[in-house]
Amino acid sequence: MISEIGLLYAVGVAYLALLFFIAHAAEKGWLPGRLVHHPLVYTLSLGVYATSWSFYGSVGFANTEGYQFLTIYLGVTLAFLLAPLLLAPLLRLVREYQLTSLADLFAFRYRSQWTGVIVTLFMLAGILPYIALQIKAVTESVSVLTRQDTPHLLALGFCATLMLFAILFGARHITPREKHEGLVVAIAFESAVKLLALLAVGGFALFGVFGGFGGLDAWLTAHPEALEALYEPVREGPWTTLMLLSFAAAFLLPRQFHMTFVENINPRSLQTATWAFPLFLLLLNLPIPLILWAGQATDLQTSPDYYVLGLPVAADQGWLALFTFIGGISAASAMMIVTTLALAAMCLNHLILPAHYRQQSLPRNNLYGWLLWGRRVLILLIIGMGYGFYWLLEFNQGLAQIGLISFVAVAQFLPGILGLLFWPRANRVGFIAGLMGGILVWLLALIIPLIHDSGLPMVDFNLMRWMGAEEENRWAFSTFWSLTLNSLLFVAGSLLTRPTREELEASQSCRREQLTPSRLLGDGEIRNVEQLHTNLSQVIGPQTAALEIQRALGDLKLDSREQRPNELRKLRARLERNLSGLMGPLLARMIVDNRLEVPPQTQVALADSLRFVEEQLEHSTVRLKGLAAELDTLRRYHRQVLHELPLGVCSISSGGDILIWNNTMAVISGISSSYAVGQTLDGLKDPWDGVLRTFINGDDRHLYKLQLTVDGRQRRLNLHKAAIESAGLGSSVAHGLGGMVVLVEDLTELHNLESEVAHNDRLASIGRLAAGVAHEIGNPLTGIASLAQNLRYEKDPAEVDLTSRQILEQTRRINDIVQSLITFSHSGEVPRMRPAPVNMRACVDEAIHLVQLSDSGRDMRCLNEIPDTLIARGNAQRLLQVFVNLINNALQAGRPGDRIVIRGEYALGSVEIQVEDEGSGIPESVLDRIFEPFFTTKPPGEGTGLGLSVVYSIIQDHGGMVYADNLPEGGARFHIRLPAVEEETLA
Partner 1 sequence: MSSQDKTLLLFLLGVLLFASPLVAWWSRSGAPWYLPYLLWGTIIALAWVVQWRRGRHDL
Closest to partner 1 by CB, 241 or 578: 241
Could you tell me the smallest distance in angstroms from the CB atom of residue 73 to partner 1? Answer: 8
Q: DSSP class of residue 348?
A: I
- Asked if 137 and 194 touch (Cβ cutoff 8 Å), the reply is no
x-marked contacts with partner 1 along 200-239 as a string, rule CB under 8 A: --------------------x------xx-xx--xx---x
Query: Applying CB under 8 A, which of residues 8, 26, 83, 902 lies at the interface with partner 1?
Result: 83
- Asked if 238 and 481 touch (Cβ cutoff 8 Å), the reply is no
Query: Applying CB under 8 A, which of residues 90, 133, 198, 243 lies at the interface with partner 1?
Result: 243
SS3 585: helix
- Is 74 an interacting residue with respect to partner 1 (CB under 8 A)? yes
- Is 267 an interacting residue with respect to partner 1 (CB under 8 A)? yes
Cα→Cα distances 28→23, 346, 569, Å: 9, 28, 37
Closest to partner 1 by CB, 85 or 785: 85
- Is 624 an interacting residue with respect to partner 1 (CB under 8 A)? no
Cβ-based neighbour number of residue 863 at 10 Å: 12
- Asked if 41 and 185 touch (Cβ cutoff 8 Å), the reply is yes
- Is 811 an interacting residue with respect to partner 1 (CB under 8 A)? no
- Is 77 an interacting residue with respect to partner 1 (CB under 8 A)? yes
Could you tell me the smallest distance in angstroms from the CB atom of residue 619 to partner 1? Answer: 12
Closest to partner 1 by CB, 70 or 155: 70
Cβ-based neighbour number of residue 526 at 10 Å: 23
Cα→Cα distances 623→75, 434, 637, 948, Å: 27, 32, 19, 60
- Residue type at 774 in one-letter notation: A
Could you tell me the smallest distance in angstroms from the CB atom of residue 670 to partner 1? Answer: 37
User: Interacting stretch for partner 1, rule CB under 8 A, among 284-292, 430-438, 627-635, 799-807?
Assistant: 284-292
SS3 648: strand
- Is 411 an interacting residue with respect to partner 1 (CB under 8 A)? no
- Asked if 302 and 144 touch (Cβ cutoff 8 Å), the reply is yes
Could you tell me the smallest distance in angstroms from the CB atom of residue 631 to partner 1? Answer: 19
Closest to partner 1 by CB, 62 or 900: 62
CA-wise closest residue to 166 among 340, 371, 323, 368: 340
Residues in binding contact with partner 1, number by CB under 8 A: 38
- Asked if 119 and 342 touch (Cβ cutoff 8 Å), the reply is no
Q: Is cis: bond before 687, omega within 30 of 0?
A: yes
- Asked if 953 and 963 touch (Cβ cutoff 8 Å), the reply is no
What values do phi and psi take at 433, rounded to 5?
Answer: -60, -45
Could you tell me the smallest distance in angstroms from the CB atom of residue 229 to partner 1? Answer: 11
- Is 169 an interacting residue with respect to partner 1 (CB under 8 A)? no
Query: Applying CB under 8 A, which of residues 9, 207, 275, 675 lies at the interface with partner 1?
Result: 275
How far apart, in whole angstroms, are the C-alpha atoms of residue 115 and residue 107? 6
Could you tell me the smallest distance in angstroms from the CB atom of residue 194 to partner 1? Answer: 19
- Is 617 an interacting residue with respect to partner 1 (CB under 8 A)? no
Could you tell me the smallest distance in angstroms from the CB atom of residue 235 to partner 1? Answer: 5
- Is 17 an interacting residue with respect to partner 1 (CB under 8 A)? no
- Residues 6+ away with beta carbon under 8 Å from 363: 370, 541
Closest to partner 1 by CB, 84 or 554: 84
Closest to partner 1 by CB, 268 or 805: 268
- Is 554 an interacting residue with respect to partner 1 (CB under 8 A)? no
- Is 627 an interacting residue with respect to partner 1 (CB under 8 A)? no
User: Interacting stretch for partner 1, rule CB under 8 A, among 116-124, 273-281, 605-613, 830-838?
Assistant: 273-281
- Is 282 an interacting residue with respect to partner 1 (CB under 8 A)? yes
DSSP secondary structure string, 420-448?
HHH-TT--HHHHHHHHHHHHHHHIIIIIH
Burial 946-983 (b: 16+ CB within 10 A, else e): bbbbbbbbbbebbbbebebebeeeebbbbebbbebbee
Query: Applying CB under 8 A, which of residues 271, 397, 538, 663 lies at the interface with partner 1?
Result: 271
- Asked if 293 and 226 touch (Cβ cutoff 8 Å), the reply is yes
- Is 49 an interacting residue with respect to partner 1 (CB under 8 A)? no
Query: Applying CB under 8 A, which of residues 103, 270, 309, 604 lies at the interface with partner 1?
Result: 270
- Is 274 an interacting residue with respect to partner 1 (CB under 8 A)? yes
- Is 44 an interacting residue with respect to partner 1 (CB under 8 A)? no
Could you tell me the smallest distance in angstroms from the CB atom of residue 733 to partner 1? Answer: 26
- Is 88 an interacting residue with respect to partner 1 (CB under 8 A)? yes
Closest to partner 1 by CB, 274 or 339: 274
Could you tell me the smallest distance in angstroms from the CB atom of residue 686 to partner 1? Answer: 44
Cα→Cα distances 248→50, 156, 343, 420, 909, Å: 15, 32, 18, 14, 85
Q: Can you say how many angstroms the Cα of residue 133 is from the centroid of all Cα atoms in its chain?
A: 45
User: Interacting stretch for partner 1, rule CB under 8 A, among 76-84, 473-481, 546-554, 968-976?
Assistant: 76-84
Task: Order the strands of the 899-907 sheet from edge to edge.
Answer: 861-864, 899-907, 910-916, 972-979, 961-966
- Is 476 an interacting residue with respect to partner 1 (CB under 8 A)? no
Closest to partner 1 by CB, 90 or 426: 90
Closest to partner 1 by CB, 89 or 933: 89
Burial 420-446 (b: 16+ CB within 10 A, else e): bbebbebbbbbbbbbbbbbbbbbbbbb
- Residue type at 651 in one-letter notation: S
CA-wise closest residue to 171 among 351, 35, 343, 21: 343
How far apart, in whole angstroms, are the C-alpha atoms of residue 206 and residue 200? 10
x-marked contacts with partner 1 along 52-71 as a string, rule CB under 8 A: ---------------x--xx
User: Interacting stretch for partner 1, rule CB under 8 A, among 275-283, 692-700, 752-760, 843-851?
Assistant: 275-283
How far apart, in whole angstroms, are the C-alpha atoms of residue 912 and residue 890? 18
- Is 84 an interacting residue with respect to partner 1 (CB under 8 A)? yes
Closest to partner 1 by CB, 230 or 668: 230
SS3 286: coil
Give contact residues for partner 1 (rule: CB under 8 A). Answer: 67, 70-71, 74, 77-78, 80-85, 88, 91, 220, 227-228, 230-231, 234-235, 239-240, 243, 267-268, 270-272, 274-275, 278-279, 282, 285-286, 289, 622
